[in-house]
Amino acid sequence: SKYVYSFGPGASDGSAALKNLLGGKGANLAEMASIGLPVPPGFTITTEVCTEFYDNDRQYPQALRGEVAAALAKVEAEVGRKFGDPAKPLLVSVRSGARVSMPGMMDTVLNLGLNDATVEGLATESGDARFAWDSYRRFIQMYGSVVLGVAHHRFEEIIETTKMDAGTIEDTQLTAEDWKLVVAAYQDVVAHETGKPFPQDPHDQMWGAIGAVFGSWMNQRAITYRRLHEIPASWGTAVNVQAMVFGNMGDDCATGVCFTRDPSTGLNEFYGEYLPNAQGEDVVAGIRTPRPLSKSYAKPGEISMEEALPEAYAELARVRDVLERHYHDMQDIEFTIQRNKLYMLQTRNGKRTANASVRIAVEMAESGLIDQREAVMRVNPQSLDQLLHPTLDPKATRTLLARGLPASPGAASGLVVFSADEAEMRAQKGEAVILVRIETSPEDIHGMHAARGILTTRGGMTSHAAVVARGMGRPCVAGAGGIHVDYGAKTLTAGGVTVRAGETITLDGATGEIFAGFVPMIEPALSGDFAKLMDWADQNRRLGVRANAETPLDAETARKFGAEGIGLSRTEHMFFDPERIGAVRQMIMANDEAGRRTALAKLLPYQRQDFIELFRIMAGLPVTIRLLDPPLHEFLPHAEEELEEVAEALGVGIEAMRQRAGELAEANPMLGHRGCRLGISFPEIYEMQARAIFEAALDVARETGAAPVPEIMIPLVGMKRELDITRAQIDEVAKSVFATAGRTLDYSVGTMIELPRAALTADTIAQSADFFSFGTNDLTQTVFGLSRDDAGKFLPKYVESGILPKDPFVSIDVEGVGAMVRIAAEKGRATKPGLKLGICGEHGGDPASITFCEEIGLDYVSCSPYRVPVARLAAAQAAI
Ligand code: ADP
Ligand code: MG
Ligand code: MG
């Protein structure tokens, strides 16, 4: 096979299509050259050579040397210079380049081919001795540190001393004579550190650099980076050898990096930085402060390249257009200008913020550069999360408590809690909480999930809290070292102010600020480009998208984000309200059905009101209401003092209270007396809930004229008989409510599929069900036989060591849980072809899981309100 691919003006062997073989850099250099852009000629040694090199005990393939020599000769002919020629030397750069850009690989070596003889030739020929000696010292420094492993600071020290002796602060002020001295000193350092003189033969230099690139593929930094980013070692890296062009030949020379559009806002403006009279590494190394490329980005006093080098800028602006039209995407470009002539040294699709990503996709579609479907594919659904969170009202007054790192965007107010369990407990009661920890660990995940925001006093941008919060889309301020947390006293102290558990604070995850008390917020703007993109997504998706919501606030948010109904309304969340919990507990304490009915009668008006509000917000849309699911003991207080309080309030003895709590305690509540098992033991509970639903629906139908479509969902069904019994009760209630009202209403009764038995007997269960909703949280627990509440102790290890590819509670386990869903869907539809199928649970908002739902033909996904746009976009991408 061919090991070496040449590129150059008008005649490249490769192209952008050969990215796997040539690496990203090499493939795009070839592509740019063949579309007529000014690329200095060169050649790429393929990634296959890297792979063979490691397969064969670090030996190059036989044919390589010959192919390199031929390709080098071609470059020599192209530029009219010879490698190692003392009169007119060819200099090259040696650059690594894998398929994906990869920090940890060898740094680029520039000016290779210089030695004690060619440097003189370069000086004479260019008429600029200073430039020649500056290039030589750069080369020795780079080659010395990158290829020969001499410590970087050994070189820096010499420059510092030279500048001190010369009395200057800028490198650019040093003369040819100064650089000559530096070169001599550098050569001494290399000889001293490596025991050998600096290599003078340009071919030795080149093979040394090529060997260093391939060698760096297996250095520790690269290995670690590959592991973190799931890049296989078998991909290998390519090596690019390219004729040098010089940005350091004077003031009509420059080097720079730019983006064809602003990568932070997406604005269609040429955005970048450049340095006059410099070589590439100067921009990165931060020795000098780069200047803005365009006038529009220049601050007063700054001279942009547009003004300093207008002709070269105009040429670059032309290339910008060519590249965007050719690649149909925003490009990240590296260039050099030698005596006013532009050379292109790299291009690739540019990284951008979520905001910029949306704007660029929409504007490119509107200008016809890409079509709408392509625009929909361009935006990562997960990244939308960053755009959907509220921000603090800039006009609101606020009291700053402390500052930390802006670890995850969005603003949140809530009651301070200091443990994950407390966060979860209070959130279940509908309270907004901020979880405050010194640092977090995998055991805190449930609390982080339950919290509106997360604050830690230790750790950086990549700490556990920061990474997990970003993943969940929770605002997070990390590493706020100025705050002292006292878990024992349940307080946090900052600058003399003490905040207790249960008091309110506000976080701004975008700035890292922490404020005392509540600060008003502004909802994100969902108009403009965002709305357009979502509209295009909607036109291209098949799956419906609903929300999991029970409070009016959540339902409204869901509507605003485009939810097409509610896929899961958990009625037990309504039971925790302080006004109602008393009646719930009274019901639990009652000795007989009559007692329970008395208590339930008190709850009925509350439940009815809840549903009225939901139905109003979701007017005309389906609303799936799940009847009571959790075991009853969850509604009883846990602490002894609280038990006493409740006993007193209910007028029962503390002993009776304790006894009842004892009776209800279960060894394994997840698999205990819950779901439809409750409805079968205490039919009056489901009767009350059904009554509340029908009465509310009739009310809203009369009020709005748009009849709601209640979908009543029975949880934890494993056998058809369970559904038959509960369904019969519901139909009975419907009949009686409709008779009283003198009106009827469409409704359906279905079941949650969350037990393996239900999935496996779905054909039978479907006979009694109008719809299935896959409760994939519980289904994951029951299919794996692992408890979500205890998984924190071992699941992270499973993911880390590759036993599981991902957390199956975040992204559906296609192989196991997915198979169960597929079986149930097929069996269900075999019985009832039109059976409506949906998914609720965390997976409904996860793009990978949504792709799976599209594949097996579900009707809709349902997810938390803030994930609705993510789901809409992911559903469209799954369908395209
Ligand atoms: P990285 O992958 O770290 O960006 P590159 O191989 O792109 O490394 O090289 C970094 C910089 O070195 C380039 O942006 C460019 O400024 C400079 N450079 C590389 N090759 C050449 C060349 N042939 N002529 C002039 N400058 C070069
Ligand atoms: Mg580069
Ligand atoms: Mg469940």
One-letter amino acid at 185 equals A
Both structure tokens of 835: 């059976």
Both structure tokens of 737: 């409510």
Looking at the CA of 674, which ligand is closest?
Answer: 3
Q: How far is the CA of 24 from the centre of ligand 2 (A)?
A: 10
- Choices 3.30.470.20, 3.40.50.261, 3.40.720.10, 2.60.120.380: CATH for 254-352: 3.30.470.20
User: In a 10 Å sphere around its CB, with 0-12 CB exposed, 13-18 middle and 19+ buried, how is residue 335 labelled?
Assistant: buried
Over residues 262-285, the pLDDT tens digits come to 988 899 999 999 999 999 877 766
Q: How far is the CA of 681 from the centre of ligand 1 (A)?
A: 74
Q: Is 339 annotated as a binding residue?
A: no
- What contacts 191, CB < 8 A, 6 or more positions away? 197, 198
Q: What does the alpha-carbon distance between residue 101 and residue 348 come to, in Å, rounded to a whole number?
A: 9
Q: What does the alpha-carbon distance between residue 579 and residue 602 come to, in Å, rounded to a whole number?
A: 11
Question: Which value does ipTM take for this structure?
Answer: 0.96
Residues with a CB atom less than 6 Å from ligand 1: 40, 93, 95, 108, 110, 242-245, 255, 280, 334, 336, 345-346
Q: If you average pLDDT over every residue of the chain, what do you get? A: 92
Give residue limits of the domains in the chain: 49-243, 254-352, 389-522, 541-631+666-879
Mean pLDDT of 793-797: 83
Q: Tell which atom from ligand 1 comes closest to the C-alpha of 97.
A: 2
With beta carbons less than 8 A apart as the criterion, state whether 171 and 159 touch.
yes
Name the pTM for this structure. Answer: 0.83
With beta carbons less than 8 A apart as the criterion, state whether 589 and 652 touch.
yes
Alpha helices (H) along 761-867: 762-765, 776-784, 795-800, 819-831, 847-855
Q: In 224-307, where do the E strands start and end?
A: 237-243, 254-259, 271-276, 291-292
Over residues 222-268, the pLDDT tens digits come to 888 888 778 899 999 999 999 999 999 999 999 999 999 998 889 99
Sign, CA torsion 525/531/533/537: positive
Q: What does the alpha-carbon distance between residue 748 and residue 829 come to, in Å, rounded to a whole number?
A: 17
Positions marked active-site: 464, 840
**Beta pairing class for 622-626 and 709-714:** parallel
Q: Residue with the nearest Cα to atom 24 of ligand 1?
A: 244
DSSP, collapsed to helix, strand or coil, labels residue 521 as: strand
C-alpha 727 chain-centroid distance: 43
Percent of the chain with pLDDT over 70: 99
State which residues have CB under 5 angstroms from ligand 2, the bound ion: 334, 346
Over residues 662-709, the pLDDT tens digits come to 888 899 988 999 999 999 999 999 999 999 999 999 999 999 888 888
How would CATH label the architecture of 389-522? Answer: 3-Layer(bba) Sandwich (3.50)
* Residue 756, pLDDT above cutoff 90: yes
Alpha helices (H) along 262-371: 280-285, 305-308, 310-327, 354-366
Name the band, by pLDDT with cuts 50, 70 and 90, for residue 842.
confident
- Among 346, 347, 348, the mutation site with the greatest number of ligand 1 atoms within 8 A of its Cβ is 346
Mean pLDDT of 216-225: 88
Q: What does the alpha-carbon distance between residue 68 and residue 44 come to, in Å, rounded to a whole number?
A: 9
Residue 448 half-sphere exposure toward CB, CA atoms < 13 A: 28
- Taking alpha carbons only, the member of 60, 310, 103 closest to residue 216 is 103
> Hey, how many other C-beta atoms are within 10 angstroms of the C-beta on 833?
7
Q: How far is the CA of 755 from the centre of ligand 2 (A)?
A: 53
Fold of the 541-631+666-879 domain: TIM Barrel (3.20.20)
Q: How far is the CA of 354 from the centre of ligand 2 (A)?
A: 23
* Residue 472, pLDDT above cutoff 70: no
Fold of the 49-243 domain: Dna Ligase; domain 1 (3.30.1490)
Q: What does the alpha-carbon distance between residue 452 and residue 865 come to, in Å, rounded to a whole number?
A: 13
* Residue 427, pLDDT above cutoff 80: yes
Q: Is 111 annotated as a binding residue?
A: no
DSSP, collapsed to helix, strand or coil, labels residue 90 as: strand
Over residues 66-75, the pLDDT tens digits come to 999 999 999 9
- Taking alpha carbons only, the member of 14, 15, 24 closest to residue 331 is 24
* Residue 661, pLDDT above cutoff 90: no
The count of residues in the chain is: 880
